[in-house]
A and B are shown apart, each in its own frame.
Chain A
């Protein structure tokens, strides 16, 4: 029997699972991640063409970009034709490029699949199509999975959203591009399964009669809601699907904005826009290495010398220039995850120049993400409406994804549908696990 795996290629996170028919195993594909069964859908390509994914990519991105030299040069990138009322002229377009950049970090590869007009991107001297980029990512997943399993993988069952796009043609093209990427990655046989079906597969196998279920797939990058008929493959019907680009990473940003930034001077610095820009940039992890330039250090040191929030700005300087970004964001994420099982957690960062201690409560967290929660509830109700169903007509609410463990969302679902209808699937990896089961079935047949 040829080996076949299931791959959940997600917007923010991905996973790989394999099933032998009796048991499904989600592989610890990213041992450096907080949850090794989940790998960030992030690709980092270095100047010499080395490609890294997941946590390794994030760490190398930080290591190579914090404290490095920069040389910004003006490069011609093309020309624009201007047609005015009675005028026509052509003007050159230039971009400012850092010619010493050691690598390029790429995110949201899956989103690129459905973007009209986006063909790919140039990384240093080479143009990579979207398919090529995804192929590089999938090839690394395949390599890691083969190393863990000790044998070659022949085929893959890939997850796909109910709709990549509302336009059927674009939807078909997106799936074709993903299939081609998988083939380029070395999978000889490629098939697809809907992600919500995969997420509910465990649950579906326990059903004796068909049911109308709501799949609440709430991970690190997006919330996907699907209302569908479950029971058997013949009975399956998707009534409606919806979603919103709010999930775990947005909650981390909210915590940082509301609770962490005061530790770096927010609320204590006035009339210094350059410093305020540095403080506010902390909530965006990807931009932090970009702040690591001599002018930023100069501004911070001058402010400290002038007695402006010296403790906080010294901490900010240390965060930016001492390669602490990764430790910091991880501490915030750990604090947030702990709040799913306890009422309070400590977010702690004690390094050179920083002594950050924040006792953070579940009440504060719920307050910090209230806006997000309200938007999510609205999307949920809209999806119900689009499916033409009332909450009472939903037989089960299957929750999956790390963020579905957050008590305020469990409470929201219980309030709308009734606590008895909630079915918690494996929080971090039920889509991967479902795809692994489907892959196992395909391999057998």
Chain B
């Protein structure tokens, strides 16, 4: 606030040292211009408030908070409506390291075996990193994590829905800084339901953040790069219970389980990888019955959750899920998840088509449909329609 005493002091300065006048005038003019611009912003805000636009925004926010409340309700056993059965359906997100994000509406009636959900206008370049897939609620709050360790939050509903054929051109772009790449996306509305979050790097480093620390890192907008050395980068973030287990799946077909209680609080290499290998998926099995690994050739590998034994020391190699012969034949894992029979999955084919598959069908047949096997798969994600 500018007081009359201050104004008197400025005038006195000009009277005593007229040479100061130009500087003082310039400073006041610059401040005036700044305040004028600010005033315009406030007036525009006021108009938005009066016209109800702001109220709409708040309504969306309330819906998002209600969703979070439902999630908490489930935690205390009050039940919640199914994810895909919600009136708005679920949201399927595709994202790439450039920070481009596409959001599709996933209606419950679209979930049919081998149903084509959407397709890119062109096949995806084979040498570019495969896009990430995530199924979540449109009311979810998403945490976008960059390879620099910076993290920003955004409501899923704020990303405009993609319509028709898919193309990265015109996709929503998260605020990546020069030189930064988007590394992972994590729905964080459920943060309150978990005790910890594990940050997993492509080269098998893990850093455990307890809930309080993780919340404060998120509030500060940086969770740390989570790597021991570059060019390693974050591959996934996983919420877990302190008594639970973390599972990592690698491209060359190894699975490693480790008790969360044993995970380090600073990045440590818990999984030893060959030079050509990297982590493709990380998850906490929880109470799910099975672990499903999807390969690039469309074959599905299924293991009972109990099959995965917890590693007792860091730098373990993990348990192989397919044979060296298959590995030599070029079979690679593209994703893995802990699943129940009632769950669903989505897979992105090399020709750009995006398809849905029931987990029950995948477990029964051990593969996706023949067309998809022929086309080859790039990305995979499983989700529970129960939210």
Q: Is A364 an interface residue (CB 8 A)?
A: yes
CB nearest neighbor in A for B1: A262
Q: How long is the Cα–Cα vector from A178 to B233 in the complex, in angstroms?
A: 49
Contact (Cβ within 8 A) B31 A342: no
Q: Is A343 an interface residue (CB 8 A)?
A: yes
**Which of B19-27, B235-243, B253-261, B379-387 contacts its partner?**
B19-27
**Which of B8-16, B102-110, B293-301 contacts its partner?**
B8-16
Q: How long is the Cα–Cα vector from A67 to B20 in the complex, in angstroms?
A: 41
**A residues 322-369 touching B (CB-CB < 8 Å):** 342-346, 357, 359, 361-364
Q: Is B50 an interface residue (CB 8 A)?
A: no
Q: How long is the Cα–Cα vector from A344 to B13 in the complex, in angstroms?
A: 8
Contact (Cβ within 8 A) A342 B16: no
Q: A359-B6, A359-B10, A363-B13 are in contact. Are A343 and B20 (CB under 8 A)?
A: yes
Question: In the complex, which residues of chain A have a beta carbon less than 8 angstroms from the beta carbon of B13?
Answer: 343-344, 361-364
Q: A344-B13, A364-B9 are in contact. Are A359 and B24 (CB under 8 A)?
A: yes
Q: How extensive is the interface on chain B, given as a class?
A: 10 to 19
Contact (Cβ within 8 A) B27 A363: no
Question: In the complex, which residues of chain B have a beta carbon less than 8 angstroms from the beta carbon of A362?
Answer: 13, 17, 20
Question: In the complex, which residues of chain B have a beta carbon less than 8 angstroms from the beta carbon of A343?
Answer: 13-14, 16-17, 19-20, 23-24
User: Chain A 75-113 against B: per-residue CB contact (8 Å), 1 yes, 0 no?
Assistant: 000000000000000000000000000000000000000
Q: How long is the Cα–Cα vector from A346 to B6 in the complex, in angstroms?
A: 13
CB nearest neighbor in B for A360: B9
Question: In the complex, which residues of chain A have a beta carbon less than 8 angstroms from the beta carbon of B9?
Answer: 361, 363-364
Task: State how many angstroms separate the Cβ of A290 from the closest Cβ of chain B.
Answer: 19
Question: In the complex, which residues of chain A have a beta carbon less than 8 angstroms from the beta carbon of B216?
Answer: 67
Question: In the complex, which residues of chain B have a beta carbon less than 8 angstroms from the beta carbon of A364?
Answer: 9, 13
Interface of chain B: mostly helix, strand, loop or mixed: helix
Question: In the complex, which residues of chain A have a beta carbon less than 8 angstroms from the beta carbon of B62?
Answer: none
Contact (Cβ within 8 A) B16 A359: no
Q: Is B28 an interface residue (CB 8 A)?
A: yes
Contact (Cβ within 8 A) B16 A346: no
User: Chain B 210-224 against A: per-residue CB contact (8 Å), 1 yes, 0 no?
Assistant: 000000100010000
Question: In the complex, which residues of chain B have a beta carbon less than 8 angstroms from the beta carbon of A357?
Answer: 31
Contact (Cβ within 8 A) A346 B12: no
Contact (Cβ within 8 A) B12 A363: yes
Contact (Cβ within 8 A) A363 B16: yes
Task: State how many angstroms separate the Cβ of B79 from the closest Cβ of chain A.
Answer: 35
Contact (Cβ within 8 A) A361 B27: no
Task: State how many angstroms separate the Cβ of A263 from the closest Cβ of chain B.
Answer: 8
CB nearest neighbor in B for A407: B17
Question: In the complex, which residues of chain A have a beta carbon less than 8 angstroms from the beta carbon of B19?
Answer: 343
Task: State how many angstroms separate the Cβ of B220 from the closest Cβ of chain A.
Answer: 8
Question: In the complex, which residues of chain B have a beta carbon less than 8 angstroms from the beta carbon of A345?
Answer: 23
Q: How long is the Cα–Cα vector from A66 to B84 in the complex, in angstroms?
A: 44
Question: In the complex, which residues of chain A have a beta carbon less than 8 angstroms from the beta carbon of B24?
Answer: 343-344, 359, 361
Question: In the complex, which residues of chain B have a beta carbon less than 8 angstroms from the beta carbon of A342?
Answer: 20, 23
Task: State how many angstroms separate the Cβ of A130 from the closest Cβ of chain B.
Answer: 35
Question: In the complex, which residues of chain B have a beta carbon less than 8 angstroms from the beta carbon of A361?
Answer: 9-10, 12-13, 20, 24
Q: How long is the Cα–Cα vector from A357 to B38 in the complex, in angstroms?
A: 14
Q: How long is the Cα–Cα vector from A98 to B24 in the complex, in angstroms?
A: 47
Q: How long is the Cα–Cα vector from A357 to B10 in the complex, in angstroms?
A: 14
Task: State how many angstroms separate the Cβ of B66 from the closest Cβ of chain A.
Answer: 25
Contact (Cβ within 8 A) B23 A344: yes
**A residues 140-169 touching B (CB-CB < 8 Å):** none
Question: In the complex, which residues of chain A have a beta carbon less than 8 angstroms from the beta carbon of B20?
Answer: 342-344, 361-362
Which 3 interchain pairs have the tightest Cβ spacing? Answer: A343-B20, A361-B13, A343-B17
> Could you name 14 residue pairs across A and B whose Cβ atoms are closer than 8 Å?
A67-B216, A262-B1, A343-B13, A343-B14, A343-B17, A344-B23, A344-B27, A346-B31, A359-B6, A359-B10, A359-B31, A361-B20, A362-B17, A364-B13
> With A343-B14, A344-B20, A361-B24 given, can you name 20 additional A-B contacts, CB distance below 8 Å?
A67-B220, A262-B1, A342-B20, A342-B23, A343-B17, A343-B19, A343-B24, A344-B10, A344-B24, A344-B27, A345-B23, A359-B27, A359-B31, A361-B12, A361-B13, A361-B20, A362-B17, A362-B20, A363-B9, A363-B16
B residues sitting closer than 8 Å to A (CB atoms) are 1, 6, 9-10, 12-14, 16-17, 19-20, 23-24, 27-28, 31, 216, 220
